[in-house]
Amino acid sequence: MRSLRGQKKISLKRDPAPSRWAYRMERLWLTPNFRRAVRVGAPLALVIASGVWYFGNEARQQAIVEWVAEARASIEERPEFMVKVMAIDGASDTLAGHIREVMPVSLPISSFDLDLEAMRKQVESLDAVKRVDVRVRSGGLLAVNVVERVPAVIWRGPDGLELLDEGGHRVAAIGSRLERSDLPLIAGEGANVSVPEALALIETAAPLKSRVVGLVRMSELRWDVVMDRGQRIMLPQNGAGPALDRVIALNEAQDLLARDIARVDVRNGQRPILRLTEGALDELRALKSIEIKGTTE
């Protein structure tokens, strides 16, 4: 047997190729999503898990809620954020009183607790309010700027006497015509939706102003001008203004309305009709009977 002494040791060289596991990890690390998950996702997951563990304790949750509430209250209740006074501009004393009644706010109050939009809608729900602007101004002032509806006519409707503005919107109810004797009177079903037309006719009838009692809407289609002494001018559905102008011109020329006439019917512009009062008719019948007797004798 040959001796192994003296023979050189044969050293095994290390294989430079990576192992299968190392190769897979290197390939995986080259994937952008994997690198993002390791660098961002893992720390984030750790933070979330820590937060869930920490805030999962009910006592800690209650303590945090109380701390946030105290911090918020300490800020909101600072003097510079407190609203102490409400000023109403543009409204009459009566309307200002109604606004203070409906305002859903009790002063003093923090400006953070005010719902200005809800307050604006509440004030605009009042009939007499056309527009309103609600703002919190420096110095703890709640400013309410109101544009009030101006009554233009009195409407005798199903619910009694009501004040309407020039657009026909309800302003307020009144108990007696004498409360606003300076305003014209309109009546009849549908008169409230035709206020602009009524105002135009009232302006046209200015020469007869001292004798005009009001306007009555007939069948929701046309107007009658009601005069004192029970007289009426019956206007057409279309062209009411020009028809009233012709009656006024005829009255100025021949003093028509000073006579015993109950109705001036100009619904047919080509054929106006005059209706006499009962007294005038009786006199006319008496005259005719006298004429008939005279002819028969």
Q: Which range is most confident: 37-46, 65-74, 183-192?
A: 183-192
Return the domain boundaries, the chain: 79-148, 184-283
CB-based contacts of 39, cutoff 8 Å, min separation 6:
none
For residue 113, the 8-state DSSP code is G
The architecture in CATH of the region 79-148 reads Roll (3.10)
Angle, vertex CA 17, rays to CA 11 and CA 23, nearest 5: 145
Chain-wide mean pLDDT for the chain? 82
Count CA atoms closer than 13 A to 16's CA, side-chain side: 0
Q: Which fold has domain 184-283?
A: Rossmann fold (3.40.50)
pLDDT of 83 reads 84
* pLDDT of 78 higher than 90: no
pLDDT of 1 reads 44
31-45, 172-186, 220-234: least confident range? 31-45
Q: What is the mean pLDDT of residues 96-113?
A: 83
pLDDT of 108 reads 81
* pLDDT of 261 higher than 70: yes
Q: Which residues pair with 270 in a beta bridge?
A: none
Q: Are 136 and 112 in contact (CB under 8 A)?
A: no
Determine if residue 46 is left, alpha or beta; phi over 0 gives left, psi from -120 to 50 gives alpha, anything else beta.
alpha
Q: What is the mean pLDDT of residues 63-84?
A: 65
* pLDDT of 132 higher than 90: yes
* pLDDT of 206 higher than 90: yes
Q: What is the mean pLDDT of residues 20-48?
A: 76
Per CATH, 79-148 and 184-283 having the same topology is answered no
CB-based contacts of 20, cutoff 8 Å, min separation 6:
none
Dist CA 235 CA 222 (whole Å): 7
Q: What does pTM read for this prediction?
A: 0.67
Helix spans in the chain (H):
20-29, 32-36, 42-55, 58-76, 93-102, 116-124, 195-204, 240-254, 278-296
Dist CA 31 CA 35 (whole Å): 6
* pLDDT of 152 higher than 80: yes
Instruction: Read off the amino acid at residue 237.
Output: Q
Confidence of residue 295 (pLDDT cuts 50, 70, 90): low
Q: Which range is most confident: 45-49, 76-80, 228-232, 281-285?
A: 228-232
